[in-house]
């Protein structure tokens, strides 16, 4: 029987496989050919073997392993946070916060941090290469907020309970991230607040924070000229087609060039220097160009099926911590995918946010798969408990 967790993992595997293929396709470049038609020394053509041995394939293997490992982890221990004393919970929260902040600030440390295209988002890791602390913060905050919210118990409903602490933690993390990556900060903040609402935070408190959040967002935009450019270019990308509007126009032109069935795998044109960030943020445009509307629909369908399965796991999850974690994972993946898809299709302002499981990025793939594996593990434990208690299991797929 195929459980919801299995569906999630299968969808993730399918997206990941497609991601490996498309990242390799989008990463094609032009190699000089000699008069005899031979490639220059040291230049290897793209072959099936080269794809299998490529760095994205390696990341994908690591991601699948992480998903499988997390998928077999016992999740009952997560519920122990509900029984922690507030002082212990606070200590664990503080430790997690310090760790996350340390990682986030490490990008500015000489010799540790690494800048790409002027953005300091990476830290150097021996052997693994580099990783994105904001990715760790994104998933870490889901767990921290879920555990913290449950540990706060009734305090979450009192303004002077644990809520202010959680909000403060959320704001602090977001404030650090927003310097380099507003999109991820908005995603983490939004997911954190929604998890808090699900955990018991009163809704009107959320509504009360909306003006503050909007004001903060507006301030973040207006404080940065390049963000103003992005908003303006979203409203009218053709106003400066060679400048601020370039990303959006090229992305839409890439999609438009695909047609119903695409130009064919590997036959995209825009990836050859016209479409920026073609292997990462704008990979979906390359999919649309090479695989057409059919390929795009397949990707969307895989996401849709995965989200429905995740929602089922959230509903059935046994225990508030696991439920909130599953909810956080769902909202994070769905939010990230939606933002990326909106940006790529010109429905939202340009934002450097990756498409989960597809866009190139070792850290993103590994941590997303790990998170989805954890949710699958939650589903497995839920199923086992249901069987143990003699409950009725609902098959989700035949």
Q: Which of 46, 113, 130, 342: binder of another protein (CB under 8 A)?
A: 342
Q: Which of residues 212-231 bind another protein (CB under 8 A)?
A: 222-223, 225-226, 228-229, 231
Select from 36-44, 122-130, 150-158, 369-377 the region that touches another protein (CB under 8 A). 150-158
- Which has the closest alpha carbon to 53: 82, 80, 79, 24? 24
Least CB distance from residue 162 to another protein, whole Å?
A: 12
The position carrying tokens 């200590």 is 91
Question: DSSP class of residue 39?
Answer: B
Q: Which of 88, 158, 239, 384: binder of another protein (CB under 8 A)?
A: 239
Q: Which of 238, 388, 395, 398: binder of another protein (CB under 8 A)?
A: 238
Question: DSSP class of residue 240?
Answer: S
Residue 253 binds another protein (CB under 8 A):
yes
Q: Which of residues 12-71 bind another protein (CB under 8 A)?
A: 30
Helices (H), the chain: 4-26, 48-52, 55-71, 86-106, 133-152, 163-178, 182-199, 203-222, 225-235, 246-256, 283-316, 320-344, 362-388
- Which has the closest alpha carbon to 201: 295, 324, 90? 324
Residue 250 binds another protein (CB under 8 A):
yes
Query: Which pair of tokens denotes residue 44?
Result: 């290897």
CA 374 to the chain's CA centroid:
15
Q: Which of 179, 220, 341, 386: binder of another protein (CB under 8 A)?
A: 341
User: What is the x/- site pattern for another protein, positions 187-206, by CB under 8 A?
Assistant: -------x--xxxx------
Distance in angstroms (rounded) separating the CA atoms of residues 203 and 187: 19
Residue 282 binds another protein (CB under 8 A):
no
113: helix, coil or strand? strand
Q: Which of residues 154-193 bind another protein (CB under 8 A)?
A: 154
Q: Which of residues 316-335 bind another protein (CB under 8 A)?
A: 319-320, 323-324, 327, 330-331, 334
Which is nearer to another protein, 137 or 339 (by Cβ)? 339
């Amino acid at each position: 029987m195929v459980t919801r967790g299995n569906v999630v993992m299968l969808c993730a595997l399918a997206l990941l496989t497609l991601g490996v293929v498309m990242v390799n396709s989008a990463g094609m470049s032009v190699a000089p050919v000699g008069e005899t038609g031979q490639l220059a020394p040291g230049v290897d053509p793209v072959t099936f073997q080269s794809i299998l041995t490529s760095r994205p394939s390696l990341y994908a293997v690591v991601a699948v392993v992480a998903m499988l490992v997390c998928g077999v982890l016992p999740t009952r221990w997560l519920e122990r946070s509900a029984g922690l004393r507030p002082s212990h919970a606070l200590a664990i929260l503080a430790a997690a916060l310090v760790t996350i902040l340390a990682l986030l600030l490490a990008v500015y440390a000489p010799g540790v941090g690494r800048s790409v295209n002027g953005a300091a988002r990476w830290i150097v890791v021996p052997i693994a290469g580099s990783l994105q602390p904001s990715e760790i913060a994104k998933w870490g905050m889901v767990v921290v907020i879920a555990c913290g919210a449950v540990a706060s118990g009734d305090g979450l409903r009192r303004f002077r309970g644990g809520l202010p602490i959680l909000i403060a933690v959320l704001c602090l993390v977001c404030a650090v991230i927003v310097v380099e990556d507003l999109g991820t900060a908005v995603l983490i903040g939004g997911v954190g607040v929604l998890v808090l609402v699900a955990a018991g935070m009163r809704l009107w408190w959320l509504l009360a924070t909306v003006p503050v959040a909007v004001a903060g967002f507006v301030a973040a935009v207006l404080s940065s000229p390049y963000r103003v450019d992005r908003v303006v270019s979203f409203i009218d990308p053709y106003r400066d087609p060679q400048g601020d509007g370039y990303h959006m126009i090229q992305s839409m032109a890439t999609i438009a060039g695909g047609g119903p069935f695409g130009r064919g795998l590997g036959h995209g044109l825009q990836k050859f220097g016209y479409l920026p960030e073609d292997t990462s943020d704008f990979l979906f445009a390359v999919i649309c160009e090479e695989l057409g509307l059919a390929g795009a629909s397949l990707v969307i369908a895989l996401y849709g099926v995965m989200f429905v399965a995740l929602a089922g796991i959230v509903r059935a999850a046994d225990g508030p911590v696991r439920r909130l974690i599953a909810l956080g994972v769902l909202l994070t993946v769905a939010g990230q995918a939606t933002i990326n898809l909106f940006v790529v299709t010109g429905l939202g302002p340009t934002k450097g946010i990756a498409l989960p499981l597809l866009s190139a990025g070792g850290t993103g793939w590994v941590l997303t798969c790990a998170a989805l594996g954890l949710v699958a593990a939650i589903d497995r434990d839920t199923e086992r408990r249901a069987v143990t208690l003699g409950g009725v299991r609902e098959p989700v797929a035949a």
